[in-house]
Amino acid sequence: MKTVLVVEDEENISKLICDTLALGGYAYDLAFDGEKAVEKVLKEQYSLILLDIMLPKLNGFEVMERIKYKEIPIIFLSAKNDVSSIVKGLQDGGQDYIRKPFEPLELLARIDLRIGTSDENIYKYKDIVVNIDERTVNKNNIQIDLTPKEYELLILLLKNVGTALSRDMILNEIWNIKEDIETRTVDYHIQQLRKKLCLKDEIKTISKIGYKIMKE
């Protein structure tokens, strides 16, 4: 069952959305502020996010900025009707924008459309298959156990095949570390991926920069 993260601080609206999702056969999870939403997205796997703009702690646009690398379809929900907010939401990466108040059946139709037309969330690289929905990694039809950070690092590499990724960029994306610090964390996790998935020749070290996974 596909799971939708509902990020909405108004209890009555949140309940209405959850009832609508249940009607459509979707599972759901809840976050009532922006920080909790980011925390959940970093730990869990969602098929779509319904994201309010006016939220405590972090607003919807700030949440979007922190999680957009996950490439989860996002529908903004807001009582803000000005054109600039709508444009910003879509330009920042939102797939849709629904004004409050909304009709539950319209919301459900928008959700069906976005999840139904999204990618199958399956990455294939040589003999490796990664299923995002199931959060599984298989090599030659054998499931490989990765730690959460190894898994996130693998996804980041597969989303950027042929592109050199700096250590600083990887630290920022996977560990949310923005400071310029000395650490062997990235190197260790790269070594583990090479070992567990037999990718010694495929994951290349780029001198004084970082790493990249080679095109097939």
111 to each of 28, 108, 114, how far by Cα in Å? 12, 5, 5
Domain boundaries, the chain: 3-116, 122-213
| Confidence band for 118, pLDDT divided at 50, 70 and 90 | very low
pTM value?
0.53
> DSSP strand E in the chain: where?
3-7, 27-31, 48-52, 74-78, 96-99, 122-125, 128-131, 136-139, 142-143, 165-166, 203-206, 210-213
**For residue 124, is pLDDT > 80?**
yes
CATH of domain 122-213: 1.10.10.10
**What pLDDT does 164 receive?**
94
Greatest mean pLDDT among 18-22, 76-80, 137-141, 188-192? 188-192
**What pLDDT does 6 receive?**
95
**What pLDDT does 37 receive?**
95
CATH tag for 3-116 (out of 3.40.50.2300, 3.40.30.10, 3.10.20.30, 3.40.50.800): 3.40.50.2300
Please answer whether residues 85 and 78 qualify as being in contact, where contact means their C-beta atoms are separated by less than 8 angstroms. Answer: yes
**What pLDDT does 116 receive?**
58
Mean pLDDT of the residues in the chain:
87
Beta-strand pair 136-139/142-143: antiparallel
**What pLDDT does 1 receive?**
60
User: How many CA atoms does the CB half-sphere of 71 hold within 13 Å?
Assistant: 13
| Confidence band for 104, pLDDT divided at 50, 70 and 90 | confident
Kindly report the number of other CB atoms within 10 A of residue 118's CB atom: 15
Greatest mean pLDDT among 71-85, 128-142, 158-172? 158-172
**99 compared with 1, residue with greater pLDDT:** 99
